[in-house]
Amino acid sequence: MWNKGEGVVLKFGGTSVANPERIRAGAGRIADFFRSGLRVAVVVSAMGSTTNSLIALSGETSGGTPDRRELDQLLATGEQQSAALMAMELGRQGCPAVSFTGAQAGFLAEGPWGEGRILSVNPVRVEEACASGRVAVVTGFQAATASGDTITLGRGGSDLSAIALAGALGADSCRIFTDVDGVFSADPRKVPGALRIGRISWEECLEMTFLGAKVMQSRSIEMAERLELPLWVGSGEGEGTWIMGRTVDEAFRACAVVSDENIALLSAEGCGNGGCDVAEEFFLRGIHILAAAERGCPLFYIRRERLEEAAEICRRMSGKSPSVNPGAARVSVVGPGAGNHPEIGRAMLKVLGRLGAPAHLLTSSGLSVSCFVDEKDAQPALRALHAEFIEKKGGFQCA
């Protein structure tokens, strides 16, 4: 492992390596860290929309249902391109560099194809490269199984790769370079008045990402909190955001509002045992249940891209076709202690009521209050909730 202050792990997302010009710019940033005397390990995503293009290509050549093992083999090639190109460009800029796949960098994972879970990272070759005066460029998003197969770590898994590598190397922090200058109080593409957050706790950021904020993969924030690893997220052109520390006071402070429009509702008519059997099958297939309720039959809120698979499970188990609504969404207010303040939910329902946007289900946790709404209402609700909880002069007041 590195000594304290000896090295840094940098991660560059897909937009940061989308074309040769951006790869050159990213290599320039890496070179600055390298020339300052630090040991540098870099994790890269696939270039731009490469992953989406590969998924589309796999659908065209497999009749729409690619074998999930073979899909992992295919998708892993996207990051391999980026890593090799970044190493080449670093060499051109006078920084000796070598690229590694996830397996070569010592990543071991198991789990369903496309959703691998890291078991360990043994970065021997990365440490050797850095100790010999080279930059180690590692493919994100992928690992090897115990049998030597390539498995991917879920969408956004390059964030997880970078943080796990930083932990294994003993780095003091991990820096995530992206096209947005940090974490904002809402998606700035949807809410023009969104504010950059200078510092946010691991737990608050984890809640944001779990609820749909496109900051980082939620599992990566969970890993950072477990490792107590400070993260910096930004474009490199501004101050960015530090994700670190924990919230220790009891006062409610809304730090962000979040929308998730990738949700579907499935009504599992005819599935007995209160829906427990079908829920068990969902879990075995890696279909995440975001919320569940009972209104004459079991209701499940799930990710939209798994709707067809979930519906087929219900048909097989009950002999009936379930009712589905692919146009659901969730809007959330995030802040420490949110679920302990009933006035948060009351205020949210009032805002939605003024918009004529019915809330179909309200849920809460220690860090958030969420309402499931129709997809068409999500963005107006997001803007209105941001105005109420973030922009309101003096801030939202709890009793």
Quick: pLDDT tens for 370-389.
999 999 999 999 999 999 99
Pairing between strand 323-334 and 368-374?
A: antiparallel
Average pLDDT value for residue range 266-274: 82
Average pLDDT value for residue range 302-319: 92
Tell me: is residue 12 an annotated ligand-binding position.
yes
Tell me: is residue 241 an annotated ligand-binding position.
no
CB–CB of 168/224 below 8 Å?
A: no
Average pLDDT value for residue range 284-312: 92
Average pLDDT value for residue range 137-156: 96
Q: What percent of the chain has pLDDT over 70?
A: 97
Phi-psi map region of 118: left, alpha, beta (phi>0 left; psi -120 to 50 alpha): beta
Ordered structural domains, the chain, with CATH? 7-179 (3.40.1160.10), 256-390 (3.30.2130.10)
Residue with tokens 């998708």: 75
pLDDT at 392: 84
pLDDT at 25: 97
Tokens encoding 356: 């004529």
Tell me: is residue 51 an annotated ligand-binding position.
yes
The C-alpha atoms of residue 219 and residue 318 are separated, in whole angstroms, by: 33
pLDDT band for position 20 (50/70/90)?
very high
From the centroid of its chain, how far is CA 64? 25
From the centroid of its chain, how far is CA 320? 35
pLDDT band for position 237 (50/70/90)?
confident
* Burial (CB count within 10 angstroms: exposed 0-12, middle 13-18, buried 19+), residue 267: middle
pLDDT at 171: 96
Tell me: is residue 91 an annotated ligand-binding position.
no
Tell me: is residue 77 an annotated ligand-binding position.
no
CB–CB of 43/138 below 8 Å?
A: yes
Tell me: is residue 346 an annotated ligand-binding position.
no
On the question of pLDDT at 339 being above 80, the answer is: yes
On the question of pLDDT at 251 being above 90, the answer is: no
Tell me: is residue 392 an annotated ligand-binding position.
no
Question: Of residues 318 and 243, which shows the higher confidence score?
Answer: 243
pLDDT band for position 398 (50/70/90)?
low
